[in-house]
Amino acid sequence: MADTPKSDKIDMKTLAKVLNVSIATVSKALRDSHDIGPETKLKVIEAARKLNYVPNPYASSLRKKASNTIAIIIPEIADSFFSQAINGIESIVAIKKYHTLIYLTHDSYEREAYMFGELASGRVDGVIMSVASNTEDTSHIKTLQQAGVPVVFFDRVFNDLNSVKITTDDLNSAYVATNHLLDASCKNISLVTIKGYPSILSAREQGYKQALAERGVQPKESGVVTCSNKYNNENVEVIKEHLRLQKPDGIIATVEHLATSTYLACNELKLNIPRDVKVVCFTNQITAPILNPPLTTILQPAFDMGKKAAQLLFDHLAGKAVENNKEIVLPSTLVIRESSIMELLN
């Protein structure tokens, strides 16, 4: 009834019949095997092209025990860091002519573990991932690794796992950002952050505290504002409350969407950025320069992190010796704009 007239699928068998050769010959010719004569090869390839032959990937995967597919497992996608990282991964995957399965954990350990389960039995040849914020048990990851599937981590990594990790210098970036605010004569700097995220946000918090301590400021717990993971109005309220109570003159926001919340909170309280509060945020959003005021950011090398992760995964798949516990740290850069500058430019 539907108008989808199944066009006659042509497979190797029919191809072989048409060409009056064996199916084995077709297979070898198409994979450019050394033991097929050049004319035969040409004939086969020509016929395949003409008849629009497309090999069945699953038959081939089943036989070869290789899927030519990788998985990307990340917490979320509507985030410029992750989407730029995907671009980096894709830049390599496309060259290798692999396929990419994408899975979003929405920062849930349960989903992450479920997804890893789905990847057993050869669905993918390798995995690139950034772990969910509430993942503590890593057995799902280990199980997959033990099954022979390499897992490369980027951004949010697990240090106790024996595998390649691509990170950026979170601790140092926060350290630099904090010092930058101190240099801009902030006396009371707060960190606006999110619960969880073991590896990465705690590194940022450490960098922040370390910088304060070195400058003789005792970091107090009340300087850390804990927001929710989701982009919502609640966070604006939490930050407003903090601004009212603690009256910080500097804020470091540790994740992208908290920039918006922080700006809105300041606006609603009629606090001027940077005069009353100076702001720095970890974000890759392209709108940073046109915010009110232009936002000082810690720009992460998202694309390159994704690209590097993919490169190392493919090195591993190609059997190249990849140091098992390799940890690559790509630098983030502090891009200074008006939101953290002392003297207004006018």
The binding site for its own copies (CB under 8 A) comprises: 2-7, 9, 52, 54-59, 61-62, 67, 69, 76-80, 83-84, 86-87, 90, 94, 99-104, 111, 117-118, 120-123, 143, 145-148, 150, 162, 231, 257, 259-260, 263-264, 267, 285-287, 289-294, 324
Q: Which is nearer to DNA, 27 or 235 (CB)?
A: 27
Q: Which is nearer to DNA, 7 or 346 (CB)?
A: 7
Q: Which is nearer to its own copies, 248 or 293 (CB)?
A: 293
- Supply the minimum distance, in Å, between the C-beta of residue 100 and DNA: 20
d(CA 300, CA 333): 7
Other beta carbons within 10 Å of 188: 15
Among 46, 56, 120, 187, binds DNA (CB under 7 A): 56
Rule CB under 7 A: is residue 18 a binding residue for DNA?
no
Q: Which does 334 bind (CB under 5 to 8 A by kind): its own copies, DNA, none?
A: none
Rule CB under 7 A: is residue 148 a binding residue for DNA?
no
**Range 220-252 burial, b when 16+ CB lie within 10 A, else e:** eeebbbebebebeeebbebbbebbeeeebbbbb
Among 62, 78, 95, 213, binds DNA (CB under 7 A): 62
Q: Is there a cis peptide before residue 331, judged by omega within 30 degrees of 0?
A: no
Rule CB under 7 A: is residue 77 a binding residue for DNA?
no
Q: Which is nearer to DNA, 62 or 213 (CB)?
A: 62
Query: With contact defined as beta carbons under 8 Å apart, do 262 and 328 qualify?
Result: no
Helix axes 80-96, 302-317, angle to 10 degrees: 30
d(CA 83, CA 18): 46
The token pair that represents 324 in the structure block: 């098992």
Q: Residue 270 gets which letter from DSSP?
A: T
- In order, the DSSP letters of 144-199 are HHHTT--EEEESS--TTS-S-EEEE-HHHHHHHHHHHHHHTT-SSEEEEEES--HH
Beta bridge partners, 282, equal: 298
Q: Which is nearer to DNA, 13 or 215 (CB)?
A: 13
Q: Which does 67 bind (CB under 5 to 8 A by kind): DNA, its own copies, none?
A: its own copies
Among 18, 21, 51, 328, binds DNA (CB under 7 A): 21
Q: Which does 95 bind (CB under 5 to 8 A by kind): DNA, its own copies, none?
A: none
The token pair that represents 220 in the structure block: 């107090």
Q: Which does 3 bind (CB under 5 to 8 A by kind): its own copies, DNA, none?
A: its own copies
Among 18, 60, 224, 337, binds DNA (CB under 7 A): 60
Stretch that binds DNA, among 33-41, 172-180, 198-206, 270-278 (CB under 7 A): 33-41
Stretch that binds DNA, among 51-59, 103-111, 186-194, 197-205 (CB under 7 A): 51-59
- Name the strand (E) or helix (H) holding 264: helix 257-268
Query: With contact defined as beta carbons under 8 Å apart, do 174 and 206 qualify?
Result: yes
- Would you call 208 helix, strand, or coil by DSSP? helix
Among 4, 7, 52, 121, binds DNA (CB under 7 A): 121
The contact set with DNA (CB under 7 A) reads 9, 11-13, 20-25, 27-28, 30-31, 35-40, 55-56, 59-60, 62-65, 121
